[in-house]
Chain A
Amino acid sequence: MPILEGQDVTKYFGGLTAVSHVDFYVNQGEIVGLIGPNGAGKTTLFNLISAALSISAGEIRFKEQKLNGLKPHQICKKGVSRTFQETKVFGNMSVLQNVLVGAFFGSPNRVSGADAAREATQAVDFVGLSAMSATPIQDLTLVNQKRVEVARALATRPELLLLDELMAGLNSTEVSEAMELVTRIRDTGITIFMVEHVMKAIMGICERIMVLHHGEKIAEGTPREIAANKKVIEIYLGEETYAGS
């Protein structure tokens, strides 16, 4: 049963088609990966789902409700939360305050101060940052700022979490920790849709992978199928092995 569905999703930037007639679905409880070369339209697709950008054509449905035309704050309240490729934290606040914003405003219902505080503390704890709760966010490393973004998104009590390159710039220990974090989030019942370049992570935790190239969906399947897909190897994975050798 898909929790998120897209039909014929298209986005034009002037004459450029950033996302072209893409159909996709994410099932309840799944971890789905979205990969593709730089400029393939992955982040654009996320921006269309979270309504950071308006859709040019097609339709996106969450729990069978149309998301077209909604504002980002309404999408969040429906239960879709996200992190950003380039971290967007509230630079003027502490770690806990950052997460509190999500806890206070992310739910469709009015949240009391005590509930929000509890929710935020739990979320900070969940990503393993409770020791830094009172630290100004500016003093954190990029890795930890990304974790705060995850905590902030979790504090909104989402059903679907969009993770945009959570693991970019992490070393291999940190990647393993992040993979473990993502799995733990899924185990709490939250569905995950993630853009990622780190193949180890994608292949390791995703149940299904979608590949975008020049805004078009060129492949979809289990990690094993994708790893064996000729077209994907030629366009995307090939580059990696090439670069690695």
Chain B
Amino acid sequence: MDITRFISTHKKSLLVAFLVLLLIFLTTFPLYGGVYHVRVLIAVLTFVILAASWAMFSGSTGYMSLAPAAFFGLGIYTMCVLEKELPFLIIIVIGGLVAFAFALLVGLVTLRLKGMYFAIFTFGLVVFMSELINYLEVALTGTHGWHITPLGNTTIFYTMLILAVVTVLAIYFIRRSRLGLAMNSIGGNEDAAEHMGINTTRVKVLTFAISSMFMGAAGVITAPILIYVNSSIAFSTYYSFMPILMAVFGGMAYLYGPIIGAVVFAYLERIVRNEFPDYFMIGFGIILVVVILFLPNGLVGLVPELRGKLGGVIAKLRKGGQAEPHANT
């Protein structure tokens, strides 16, 4: 019981200590981690970015976007086209901006659609982008796909780490800002939000673009790992569905929900896929069904629930079996 009291009184400093340790662990990881595990961690970080930025927009506004792959793929292709022209860091920024601008355009046209229609449109967008890029590629270059000069694992690891930290920090501040409140109120009741003075179209389009920007930047950094890229690799629906599954799995009520979901899911996926390449998806399917059925608020939704139950037990023990006063007496 002293431990629980210690945790609750020193919550903030414990959290800071944990984050510092985590950051030290991550920044030193390539020194002892080994190539394979560095690769795994890069994938984990990529999905942290995708899942967190997806949940930032779709989780809070309730607009289900199935388009992460469209913006991620756009980032990958930005790298393909500009690889030999510009430095890596600048391409990352450009990739983010390209995705931002494209999302702005898409958002202006489609964020008037509600519910199912928006989801279907965004899904169609991924397929459309894949076909369009494929067509353009053949028409303009006469070839199919691109080779990208590989970069060192360590370089990619550190760039992805920095982007992940920037993304998570940005989302943290956005969630706490007026924009975050506006997004939440759209998710709560869009009509009421509009009548309370919120320009809902502007908020939706802007936040959709911001979340897509991180996805595009992550795409740029991912490109050199792939070495060979074509439109069906870059715009694979895998990059749309995995982040969504991870965010749902982790729970979207808190910022750390999608992050934990991405870490657990992406890590498991890499490990399990190596061991059971034919069956791993079945396992994930089962896990997901169980989570949706029994943990509607995801993995992190368990925390307050358990705390509530535990609190009740502790209170009972403290009272030493005294009858609880009834609320109506």
User: Per-position contact with B for A49-86: 1 when CB-CB < 8 Å, else 0?
Assistant: 01010000000000000000001110111000110100
**A191 located at the interface, meaning its Cβ lies under 8 Å from any Cβ of chain B in the complex:** no
Interface pairs (6), CB distance under 8 Å: A52-B195, A73-B200, A76-B196, A90-B184, A92-B184, A97-B181
Q: A89-B189, A92-B187 are in contact. Are A104 and B195 (CB under 8 A)?
A: no
Question: Is there contact, CB below 8 Å, between A71 and B199?
Answer: yes
The 7 tightest CB contacts between A and B, nearest first, are A90-B188, A105-B197, A88-B192, A76-B197, A106-B197, A72-B194, A88-B189
- B199 cross-chain contacts in A, Cβ below 8 A: 71, 73
- B182 cross-chain contacts in A, Cβ below 8 A: 101, 105
Instruction: Give Cα A152 to B192, complex, Å.
Output: 10
> Among the listed B188, B191, B197, which residue makes an inter-chain contact with A93, where contact means beta carbons less than 8 Å apart?
B188
A37 smallest CB distance to B (angstroms): 25
**A91 located at the interface, meaning its Cβ lies under 8 Å from any Cβ of chain B in the complex:** yes
Interface residues on B, range: 10 to 19
- A88 cross-chain contacts in B, Cβ below 8 A: 189, 191-192, 195
What is A's interface to B at a CB cutoff of 8 Å? 50, 52, 71-73, 75-77, 81-82, 84, 88-93, 97-98, 100-102, 104-107, 152, 156
B165-216 residues with Cβ-Cβ distance < 8 A to A are 178, 181-182, 184-185, 187-189, 191-200
- B187 cross-chain contacts in A, Cβ below 8 A: 92
Known: A71-B194, A88-B191, A92-B188. 4 other contacts (CB 8 A): A93-B188, A97-B181, A104-B178, A106-B197
- Give the nearest-CB partner of A149 in chain B: B192
B301 smallest CB distance to A (angstroms): 13
Question: Is there contact, CB below 8 Å, between A156 and B185?
Answer: no
- Give the nearest-CB partner of B186 in chain A: A90
- B196 cross-chain contacts in A, Cβ below 8 A: 73, 76, 81, 101-102, 105-106, 152, 156
- A104 cross-chain contacts in B, Cβ below 8 A: 178, 181
Q: Tell me which of B185, B189, B193, B196 has the highest count of chain A C-beta atoms within 10 A of its own C-beta.
A: B196
A160 smallest CB distance to B (angstroms): 13
Instruction: Give Cα A93 to B185, complex, Å.
Output: 8
Question: Is there contact, CB below 8 Å, between A101 and B185?
Answer: yes
A80 smallest CB distance to B (angstroms): 9
Question: Is there contact, CB below 8 Å, between A82 and B184?
Answer: no
> Among the listed B178, B193, B200, which residue makes an inter-chain contact with A90, where contact means beta carbons less than 8 Å apart?
B193
- A75 cross-chain contacts in B, Cβ below 8 A: 195
Question: Is there contact, CB below 8 Å, between B193 and A102?
Answer: no
- B189 cross-chain contacts in A, Cβ below 8 A: 88-91
- A82 cross-chain contacts in B, Cβ below 8 A: 195
Instruction: Give Cα A91 to B188, complex, Å.
Output: 5
- B185 cross-chain contacts in A, Cβ below 8 A: 90, 93, 101
- B194 cross-chain contacts in A, Cβ below 8 A: 71-73
A214 smallest CB distance to B (angstroms): 26
Question: Is there contact, CB below 8 Å, between B188 and A156?
Answer: no
B63 smallest CB distance to A (angstroms): 14
Instruction: Give Cα A52 to B195, complex, Å.
Output: 8
Instruction: Give Cα A97 to B185, complex, Å.
Output: 9
Instruction: Give Cα A8 to B198, complex, Å.
Output: 29
B181 smallest CB distance to A (angstroms): 6
Q: Tell me which of B178, B185, B199 has the highest count of chain A C-beta atoms within 10 A of its own C-beta.
A: B185
A149 smallest CB distance to B (angstroms): 8
Instruction: Give Cα A52 to B182, complex, Å.
Output: 18
- Give the nearest-CB partner of A84 in chain B: B192
Instruction: Give Cα A52 to B192, complex, Å.
Output: 10
- A97 cross-chain contacts in B, Cβ below 8 A: 181, 184
